[in-house]
Amino acid sequence: MEELLTALRATSEQTRLRIIAVLSRTELTVSELCRVLGQSQPRVSRHLKLLCDAGVLERNAEGSHAFYQPARIGLGRQVLDSIITMIDPEDETIVRDLDRLAAVRDERAAIAAAYFEEIAKDWDRLRTRHVQDEVVEAAMLSAVEGQVIRDFLDIGTGSGRILEIFAPRVSHGLGVDLSHEMLNVARARLDEKGLQNISLRKGDIYHLDLPDGSQDVVVIHHVLHFLDAPQDALAEAARVLRPNGHLLIVDFAPHDLEYLRMELAHRRLGIHHEDIETWATNAGLTGLTRSDLHPSGPRQDGQLTTILWTLRQHSDATDFRTLAHQPISSEERSA
């Protein structure tokens, strides 16, 4: 009862209702909310703290910024959902707020577009060497066809494209990336598409701020070739998978395009299937399958094969996680 009263008290104020109305449409920083609401930062911050403490909103740190969004689960989310249906979208104050919100989102999109334009040439050059993105995306969707996906995680989300294609299939999607600039690109994409079941978070691929067994599907799409310890990233992905959850890995087959290492910071020239097998076994994953996807048309020098690996978490994942994280004894090392 006290939790409900706390949530109701936290929302029973005009500015907080306005905050709820705009955050139900997109996540925002404090400074962005100040622009939308026309209020000072100390005042807005105080309202946000009350709403977060009541479990109505969530705060996600991203470098020097923090983004606020509706709570995803819990009683606070239930209260918020009920309140949103009662807020009149034609109310004059709300209309003005949404007009200013549109301006903030337009500015956000322009910043993201400028950054993306800087890197687009390199991406376009690489894209001509591998299979069409649509082919890879169709294969990924097919790999989890029929699976109920409540919680979906895209590690190293980049532009947010994978979140976009999976959004109609999932109850909630989360994209994690270490780059603030790429999160801006993804945020602009999701805003444009109006995808309200997707959220973004700055995070470390090796140390995800997520509970064990919390995700139904995890995707690592063209990320492993950038990493110095891909086996650790795969183990962390396995940790957050629910029993029988699926991990989808997309990356290039081994190749000899040295310029990718020199110009685009690829640490590895493709990923070997044997390495995936070893890393999957060490992480306690099973059911490894592989699909090789080739560019259409006659084979040419410098073309890249893309591989989709699909793995599954054990039905009794807890036992396997325990085994996978047990330290190796001195007897085992000397054996």
Dump the DSSP string for 283-303: TTEEEEEEEEE--SSS--TT-
- Whether the pLDDT of residue 163 is over 90: the answer is yes
For the stretch 3-43, pLDDT in tens is: 888 888 989 999 999 999 999 988 899 999 999 999 999 99
Give the CATH number, domain containing residue 248: 3.40.50.150
Contact 233, 206 (CB under 8 A): yes
For the segment 185-232, what is each residue's pLDDT rounded down to a tens digit?
Answer: 899 889 889 898 999 999 999 999 999 999 999 999 999 998 878 999
Report if residue 105 sits inside a domain.
no
* Selection from 18, 27, 21, 109 nearest residue 62 by Cα: 27
Q: Is residue 161 within 8 Å of residue 188, measured between CB atoms?
A: no
Residue type, 191: D
Mean pLDDT value across the chain = 87
Please check whether residues 161 and 276 belong to one and the same domain: yes
Residue 126 shares a structural domain with residue 80: no
- Mean pLDDT, range 89-95, rounded to an integer: 94
Q: Which residue has the higher pLDDT, 258 or 50?
A: 50
Q: Which amino acid is at 276?
A: I
The type of residue at 272 is H
Residues 59 and 132 in one domain: no
User: Whole-prediction pTM value?
Assistant: 0.75
Look at residues 248, 279, 267, 260 and name the one whose alpha carbon lies nearest to residue 147: 248
Residues 294, 146 share a domain: yes
**Is residue 332 domain-resident?**
no
Domain end call among 40, 68, 87: 87
134 in the same domain as 259: yes
* Amino acid identity, position 58: E
pLDDT digit string, tens, across residues 227-257: 878 999 999 999 999 999 999 999 999 988 8
Tell me the per-residue pLDDT of 246-291, one tens digit each, with 9 for 90 and over.
999 999 999 888 878 777 778 888 999 999 999 999 999 999 999 9
The domain boundary, picked from 41, 64, 87, lies at 87
Q: Same domain for 145 and 221?
A: yes
- Asked if residue 243 is part of any domain, the answer here is yes
> Is the Cβ–Cβ distance between 205 and 186 less than 8 Å?
no
Query: Are both 250 and 204 inside the same structural domain?
Result: yes
Cα 234 to Cα 277: distance, rounded to the nearest angstrom: 11
Which residue range forms the structural domain that includes residue 81? 1-87
* Best CA proximity match to 196, nearest among 177, 172, 215: 172
Specify the number of domains making up the chain: 2
Report if residue 298 sits inside a domain.
yes
Please indicate, yes or no, if residue 96 is contained in any of the structural domains.
no
Q: Which residues pair with 34 in a beta bridge?
A: none
| Contact assessment for residue 175 and residue 160, using Cβ atoms and an 8 Å cutoff | yes
Contacts by 51-54, CB closer than 8 A, 24 or more apart: 51/10, 51/11, 51/16, 51/19, 51/20, 53/6, 53/10, 54/6, 54/7, 54/9, 54/10, 54/11
Residues 137 and 79 in one domain: no
Residue keyed to tokens 């054990």? 314
Specify whether 152 is located in the same domain as 209.
yes
Sign of CA dihedral 33, 39, 40, 45: negative
Does residue 60 sit in the same domain as residue 153? Answer: no
Domain finish residue from 87, 106, 141: 87
DSSP secondary structure letter of residue 207: B
In a domain, 262, yes or no: yes
- How far, CA to CA in Å, does 248 sit from each of 31, 93, 196, 257? 37, 45, 23, 24
